[in-house]
Structure 1
């Protein structure tokens, strides 16, 4: 009996040893540095690839996926974008490739055998792990998809001869950016067939920010100011700026930026080239004259006693208001910004009237005391007369003089706010201090001549910036040129 038991144990050990040897030989046949057969990452077969080869293959496949287009629908409207524009990327493709390489090569011998053997019957598909760039996706949705939604409409108000006409607000919808982006991401990671696709964007209710009931308090004129609109091309820019500001409603605490409201200044948005200040000179640029729009509004804001957040003087004096009453606009670095400091909404009406006066009127609920009025006084502190600067013009005839540039007197000034109660002055405060640079009269002196000596004579005189010396040199140079001409006509 003991002999039989011993033989059984011995046989079991032998069989187990043989089985272990078979399993070991089976799993050892798989190259350690290559991915087992029948393994996919997404729809990419990475079987037999090294880690480096698999990563390169996946990076190439990502480029192909990124070129595909997604159609984003809101109602019956749609907009398209490539997945590249949404910032399609892998979350961590290196980690996924590592998982593919390690499959069948880690753990107990039987586990490894079972994994490798199972690949003969069924492929293993690992998810790529797609992500979208949050900022890029947001930018695409805001630019192309938000405009498709039927957005809420704020209540509006207009001034008529009989008073104010109010139009009611309307609820709408807006695209839920985060929910939509997450929906796209989930689709990409849930059996996506790597083809272009359509998606119905998530939307949510949008409430109007201004309601008719909010505007019922607008009854009074808070402040008004006008300037002459002039004519020519510049007038077109004034009209374009006025139209963009007209009808603006500011709720309590809300701000308005003149630059943001009226820009961009280009032909597409109704602006033309007209005179504007640049480096102390008047040059033509798109939107030239928009500063008169901001200046006129600035004065209306002062009379309405709204809070001014940002205001800058021009580099040189302007003709349409007194010093320190102007407000310059330049690029995105000089702006006029103000805030509704009342507890109720305000409404800005803007027009160029039949008398060609550009007028801004600010309406709201006047809570200032009866008999209280404000005035603004401009005080000039210093004055610097402009001079004359002589410059050479190599293309103009020798000795010719042409006036150029735009001469301006320099000044420093301040603006006073004077408050009256029942006609009596009760306070006087400085609102701003402004500096205006002088701009010299430019006189271009011609030096074009066949007589190099005569031209050099005038050139040296120009360098002295002395009017008498320049005039004397011009007279002498002309004499030299005339003499040279006579000598050229003599025969030998």
Structure 2
């Protein structure tokens, strides 16, 4: 009997303990408050009602996202840009703690007990940031409007042929990579008490493509040579042609190693200005044509090149002597046959300037050249070529009679030499060319009394057209 009584007492005690434990567990799991010692990014939320916490959390996040954010631009003179965290694309998220709190109120009693018992003490407020939002506001277009555009440095040739420079204008631009890092670092990871967040935008100096340093590095330091020839400036085709070709060359810059091509100059001149009628050289004779005078530009340029010591790539003399230069120092042009080319061998850039005024065509080179070095030219006639006699039939003359219609002109074989001077003393003498100017035949009319034409000396075939771009139709 005693054993039964003892067993009853034990069972009753166990039942009472289980009932008490269940009651404690139910009470523990059914709490509507947050467990003790819980913090979310320094905010102590322990003991708060879960529902009240949700409401306050939403309000705090909204307040945090409304935090003023100001971009300042240092001493650039640009006004600050004001915005907020939310307008910058910042969104805060406390979803992890809300999910964990939901587990305290859902599931079996045992699940809720475990969730509350193991509830973490420290939680972090997280944020998501759409990086492109600020870029869409502070666009390159906004930068240009706010800071302006960079302006290239300018080089000009002033009065007295002085080389002068106008410095470039630099502007500010945003260092976008550093800017992104600064914004990310400035976004609060904890609860912010509404103070304005301000960052000074990192700026970098933006230079234009052409700076004074880059221009000076080209080496256009001074006028290194000038050469002029005379021409009669009038309202005629030749003046137009000379001045048009000169304008095309004016301000041309050759880089080191560049080859000047007169054929390209003539093509561009014809496109921009067109050529007018003026005498050209056709098979050794002056005849009406289009573009007459363009070889005065190439010949004047040739003499400037010679006196700068540059390399002549391609050049030929006229078939006839020209009036504006000594024989041996001219450079003709025949489209498709003869060109004038030279190479910039100064090692620096070379600027060509031209003027055609006061009956003078002047070509100037600006660049780098040893001021102690100069060049002069000498020519020597090594052979005089006597004119041949060309006969034409004239039946109006008496049989056996003859009449001189045109006296011939002598031709020449000429050597040209470039002499290099150092401090005025000759240090080098170089033969540049051997040129032949064909003699012009004496034209004689005869009547031999026969139908056969008189015999004439055999003529060497020359270029069809010189010193122009088009001639008359001789067919």
Q: TM-score, normalised by structure 2?
A: 0.49
Larger radius of gyration: 2
* Structure (1/2) with the larger helix percentage: 1
Compare relative contact order (CA 8 Å, sep 6+) and give the higher one, 1 or 2.
2
**TM-score (ref. length: structure 1):** 0.47
